[in-house]
Amino acid sequence: MSKGKISFLLVVFLLMTALLPTVVSAEASEETWIKFAPRSEDVSISVKPDDTGEYVATVKIMFPSSGYRVNYEDAVEVVTGLLPDGTKKVSIIGQADIEAWTGGSLTVMTEKTLTYHLGKLDRGVYLFTFRSYNFSKTCEFEVTEDYVDWILKDDQVSISAEPNRNGEYIVSVKLTLPHPCFMVDYHEIYPIVPPDGSEKFPFLGGATVKEWTGPAPRVITEKVLRYNVGKLKPGIYYFEFFANDYKQLFKFEVPEDKYIIYDGLNDKNVSISAEPNKNGEYVVNVKLTLPHSGFRVSYDDTVSIPEIDPPDGSEKSPFLGGAIVEEWTGPALQVITEKVLSYNLGKLKPGVYYFVFFANNYKQLYKFEVAQNVRICYGDLNDDGKVNSTDFSLIKRCILERIYDDRADVNADGNVNSTDVVVFKRYIFRMIDTLPFNSDSEYVIH
């Protein structure tokens, strides 16, 4: 190899050695987010009231690419000061964090909009300042609108009084206003009760009603003011509502607590079922689910007898079962209460029957069927016509697996348990000669 070639290779090697740290350093640097200050001409600020009269500051920022992000909260700082001439100066400050991506991004103009809700403002001159990293821009605006007293009219005020669930009387004052941009503050003043207790000085319910003079949607708006006047004894009471220069006197009566006819029965809180009792008589049970404990129910468990069976014997005229359900107007425990009314229809032949339950202004028709009598061969669980040790094993299986089988209920008490095992053993050993055996039977000793 010639000396010229060796010198050339040496120079190339030295250059690569010198540039290698720079390349490694560039690869080692990571792409990341860094703080960014926009240009003033890329930021625009406007402050305007919305439809409800609340002022909103809108900040629009234009970026040269998509590699920017903005984090901010819709919260502002209010600073109040005085100008040299003594007038009040109010500065409102909204802030944001703006960051730029050091890596690659789409080169396309991107706009981001930030909104700051300033609320309802009194009349005056304001400064809104938008701040970010090494950036600040201020917009001055003036509020010419304000709240002014609104004088109510009789057709805009309606008053009612009724007790709540705790027995306390609530006076409700409903205001019907021409649009939603009203401010209503209210409080209540209690009266002095005269010694005789017959008629009371009025409760006084005051309010301040103000209208926003700025833009507002023309939508009828209702506001309800509720005044709690507490628990009241029976008698006549007065409530006077006043707002600005408006007054209205309302008279109401607190009646004596008593039972009144309940009109809240419906198919959801009335359920009906029918089943035979131990004597083979059919009983219809009507379950009432009532909203609190202050109810009483009066009824007769006898029912009207249906007409003579039709010739085909398929369907009968309905049995009628009535009741009177009353609700206590005074305080009561607010717990769901169930009352079950039982109507005995007696022994019925197989067929289809109807039962009509009626209470107050409510009626419900219930249809049920009495099936053909089926002879039960007590003790013969495997239907082989014999009662023996095989059936004894099946009875024990019913007990273990908690299965009810009429044939295993050899004492006819509606349960299959150890008592049936004892009765079955006595039958097998001929200590008794009849199944089912119950407490009314007599032992027959062989």
pLDDT of residue 25: 44
pLDDT at 428: 87
pLDDT value for 444: 38
pLDDT at 378: 85
Three-state SS letters, the chain: CCHHHHHHHHHHHHHHHHHHHHHHHHHHCCCCEEECCCCHHHEEEEEEECCCCCEEEEEEEEECCCCEEEECCCCEEEEEEECCCCCEEEEEEEECEEEEECCCCCCCCEEEEEEEEEECCCCEEEEEEEEECCEEEEEEEEECCCEEECCCCHHHEEEEEEECCCCCEEEEEEEEECCCCEEEEEEEECCCCCCCCCECCCEEEEEEEEEECCCCCCCCEEEEEEEEEECCCCEEEEEEEEECCEEEEEEEEECCCCEEECCCCCCCCEEEEEEECCCCCEEEEEEEEECCCCEEEEECCCCECCCCCCCCCCECCCEEEEEEEEEECCCCCCCCEEEEEEEEEECCCCEEEEEEEEECCEEEEEEEEECCCCCCCCCCCCCCCCCCHHHHHHHHHHHHCCCCCHHHCCCCCCCCCHHHHHHHHHHHCCCCCCCCCCCCCCCCCC
Q: What is the mean pLDDT of each run of 10 residues along the chain (446 residues)?
A: 53 51 49 94 92 88 92 91 73 94 84 93 88 94 83 95 86 92 78 52 87 76 91 88 92 87 92 88 93 89 66 66 88 82 89 91 91 76 86 90 85 86 89 76 39
pLDDT at res. 195: 47
